[in-house]
A = this chain, B = another copy of it.
Amino acid sequence: MPSPSPPPPTITFPRSPVPSIPARPVQTAAALMIGDEILNGKTQDTNSHHFALRCFELGIELKRIEVIPDDEAEIVEAARRLTADFDFVITSGGIGPTHDDITYPSLARAFNQDLAMNDEVLSRMAQKSMYRKEWLEQQTDEQRTARERMALFPSQAEVLFVTDDLWVPVVRLEGKLCVLPGVPSLFRRLLDNLMESYIPLPAERPFRHMVFTTLPESSIAPFLTELQRRVKGEGVRIGSYPSFQKGVTVSLIGNNEARVRELGEEVCKEIHGTVVVKDA
């Protein structure tokens, strides 16, 4: 009988330094989800919703989410277009060791770069694998080559180590396109650390206020239209979201919390609504 594996040791690494040069705050963002498994229904994409929530909390306007297949031409086209159009772009998926993981080579092509092996990643990967050393020594050359593909990045990329306990870095291209893994637990850890420390954030953050009513949407429509017209100049956005045969949630979003709450009171009175924290 094989002896049980020892628990993996705790290994930590230094994080990448946060750039001290002030950069223009990120205003707009886009997400490029790369994966056949989402398009063929095997996997429900939850990463883009996590990203949407983070963007909202941090005052970044997420303008677009695209889901595309593991296809070089499509990755090249979408990565170039989104990077040209928005301040901050993430990709999710396609960075593992197998044949269907083509995100890094496709992005290298998108931005006319070669691929280069990152020694620091190889070293961290090796340290993290020490506890299964015997097992790894049995890997063939081909299997080792497959592992090392995970350290083969576009040659001019920044390699950001945003956590101290994972060997996976965030690879950043053109100063704005950040490559993240598709596995949700890893995606979230890396994204949250990246956005907290490595992205220049806007000074202001929006406040969302929601009011629920059982009145039909058409009955509240004229009031909401007029209200939106009145508060547009203040940057307040009004949304109206029906739940089938239940009622309507009205959302008010703006940077001035006191003003949004004040408008919320007016909305409550006018549409016989109640303030809700979560969607009906």
Contact = CB atoms under 8 A, between A and B. Distances in A.
A180 to B, nearest CB: 13
Contacts of A140: 222
Nearest to A184: B244
A107 B98 CA distance: 41
Given A38-B65, A65-B67, A43 B218 contact: no
Interface in A225-260: 225, 228, 237-244, 251, 253
A218 B238 CA distance: 49
A98 B225 contact: yes
A46 interface: yes
A36 B237 contact: yes
A41 to B, nearest CB: 4
Interface residues of A, number: 70
Contact of A100 (B41, B62, B208, B240): B240
Nearest to A228: B99
B224 A43 contact: no
Interface stretch (A52-60, A112-120, A197-205): A52-60
A55 B139 CA distance: 39
A10 interface: no
Contacts of A143: 218-219, 221-222
B43 A97 contact: no
Nearest to A237: B36
A146 B218 contact: yes
A54 B40 CA distance: 9
Contacts of A216: 147
A55 B43 contact: no
A39 B66 contact: no
Interface string A133-146: 00000011011111
Given A64-B68, A217-B97, A42 B208 contact: yes
A103 interface: no
A194 B253 CA distance: 35
B98 A240 contact: yes
Interface of A: 33, 36-46, 48-49, 52-57, 61-69, 74, 96-101, 139-140, 142-147, 150, 183, 185-186, 208, 216-222, 224-225, 228, 237-244, 251, 253, 279
What are the 6 A-B residue pairs with the smallest beta carbon separation, nearest first?
A: A146-B221, A41-B53, A147-B218, A41-B52, A142-B222, A65-B67
